[in-house]
Structure 1
Amino acid sequence: MTKAADIMHPGAQWIPENETVLRAAQLMRDLEVGALPVSDSNERLCGIVTDRDIVIDCIADNCDPSQTPVSRLTKGTPRWIPADADVRDVLREMEQHKIRRLPVIDKNKRLVGMISEADLAHHLSDDLLGEFVEKVYAQ
């Protein structure tokens, strides 16, 4: 049985909620990623910030990225999946919430990786991938 840990991109990195949007953009550039999990002071997941969030909710709103905390860009309840979850649970979580990136958490509630659409494309059958795309992108 394929687990979340088998398909995730390991080594994901947090950004603290009080860090600036500018720092988030720099980390995304340096890590070559389009999203970063956001942590609270206890290193617990409190959101995700994406490159799109930075453009739409900061730059387009004329906010100063060097002064704006990433916590201003996080919305809703953060979703995550345990590292030992079955891949079907991963798909169900992403499909139900129409999300494209999913943090993977270990038994100690620490971030161990991220699952993106690209990870799914590399590890799923064409049929499962097709079902995922249809459900996530359906209007």
Structure 2
Amino acid sequence: MTKAADIMHPGAQWVPENETVLRAAQLMRELGVGALPVSDANERLCGIVTDRDIVIGCIAESADPSGTPVGALTKGTPRWIPADADVRDVLREMEEHKIRRLPVIDQNKRLVGMISEADLAHHLSDDLLGEFVEKVYAQ
């Protein structure tokens, strides 16, 4: 049985909620990613910030990226999956919430990886991938 840990991109890094949007954007550039999990003061997942969030929620609003905390851009309850979850649970979570990136958390509630659409494309059968795309992108 394939687990979330088997398909995730390991070594994901998060950004503290009080870090600036500018630093988050720099970190995305350095890591070559389009999203970063956001942690609270206790290093617990409290959100996710995407490159789109930065553009729409900060730049387009004429906010100062060097003075805006990343936490100001996070919305709602972040979704995540345990590292030992079955891949079908991963798909269900992403499909139900129409999300394209999913943090993977260990038993101590610490970030251990991220699952993206690219990870799914590399590890799923064409049939499962097709079902995922249809459910996530369906209007």
TM class, shorter-length: over 0.9
* TM-score (ref. length: structure 2): 1.00
Q: Distance in 1 between matches of 2:70 and 2:13?
A: 14
Q: Distance in 1 between matches of 2:126 and 2:63?
A: 42
How big is the alpha-carbon RMSD for the aligned residues of Structure 1 and Structure 2? 0.3
Seq. identity, %: 91
Q: Paired residue for 2:104?
A: 104
Q: Distance in 2 between matches of 1:2 and 1:34?
A: 25
The structural deviation recorded for 1:131 is 0.2
The structural deviation recorded for 1:114 is 0.1
Query: What CA deviation, in whole Å up to 9, does each residue of 1:87-132 have, x standing for no partner?
Result: 0000000000000000000011100000000000000000000000
The structural deviation recorded for 1:25 is 0.1
Q: Distance in 2 between matches of 1:73 and 1:22?
A: 12
Q: Distance in 1 between matches of 2:138 and 2:56?
A: 22
Unaligned 5+ runs, structure 1 = none
Query: What CA deviation, in whole Å up to 9, does each residue of 1:13-67 have, x standing for no partner?
Result: 0100000000000000000000000000000000000000000110000000000
* Structure 1 SS opposite 2:93: helix
Q: Distance in 2 between matches of 1:30 and 1:61?
A: 25
Q: Distance in 1 between matches of 2:37 and 2:14?
A: 5
- Count of residue correspondences: 139
* TM-score (ref. length: structure 1): 1.00
1:135 aligns with 2:135: yes
* Structure 1 SS opposite 2:67: coil
* Structure 1 SS opposite 2:127: helix
The structural deviation recorded for 1:2 is 0.2
Unaligned 5+ runs, structure 2 = none
